[in-house]
Amino acid sequence: LEENSLKKARALADRVDYMVMADDSGLFVDALDGAPGVHSSRYAGEEGNDIRNIEKLLEELKNIPLEDRTAKFMTVITLITENKEIYTIKGECSGYIIDEKRGNNGFGYDPLFVPLGYDKTFAELGEEVKNRISHRAKALEGMKDLMRKLFKGEADEDSRS
């Protein structure tokens, strides 16, 4: 994810003289050694879509008990400043994968992913809750804090990539 996010940000930064951001996200299932991971959006192939990706994931997990279906969504956001300084922020949301789709909101693997501390999938929780607890929300909150520090001149070396 870091590499993809950085690649996207560099492609933008090479074309403009102002601050740019790019991100990459993925679903990492422990029982599948981290798959689908960086290939989440094309897990069922280049022509894959949400339905095919979900079907493939469920097929690969069909003999794995629910308690062993731990997973996490991850987002990496890369910021490149006007001075070409590179900063990376990560966000994670841990949970598990259920064995059938539930809910009508969201996209991707949302109907299968139940975040820790909840009994509903991202697709059932709705946008308001998801936007507060998701991997993306956590990464964006971290980026907001970083940008606040940058604009105040308080960012430290530990924030840089």
Three-state secondary structure call for residue 37: strand
Q: Please count the structural domains in the chain.
A: 1
DSSP-assigned states of every residue in 70-126:
EEEEEEEEEEE-TT--EEEEEEEEEEEE-SS---SSSSTTTTTEEETT-SS-HHHH-
Q: What is the CATH number of the domain that holds 33?
A: 3.90.950.10
- Which pLDDT score is estimated for 13? 96
Strand partners, 23: 77
Contact 107, 150 (CB under 8 A): no
Quick: pLDDT tens for 53-92.
999 999 999 999 999 999 999 999 999 999 999 999 999 9
- Look-up of token digits 């924030």: 159
Told to judge if 24 belongs to the known catalytic residues of this protein, a careful annotator would answer yes
Contact 69, 77 (CB under 8 A): no
Quick: pLDDT tens for 7-53.
999 999 999 999 999 999 999 999 999 999 999 999 998 877 999 99
Quick: pLDDT tens for 139-157.
999 999 999 999 888 776 6
Q: How many CB atoms lie within 10 A of CB 113?
A: 29
The model's pTM: 0.90
Contact 65, 73 (CB under 8 A): no
Catalytic residue among 24, 68, 119, 156: 24
Burial of 117 (0-12, 13-18, 19+ CB in 10 A): exposed
Which structural domain range is residue 112 located in? Answer: 2-159
Percent of the chain whose pLDDT exceeds 90: 88
User: What is the C-alpha radius of gyration for the chain, rounded to an integer number of angstroms?
Assistant: 17
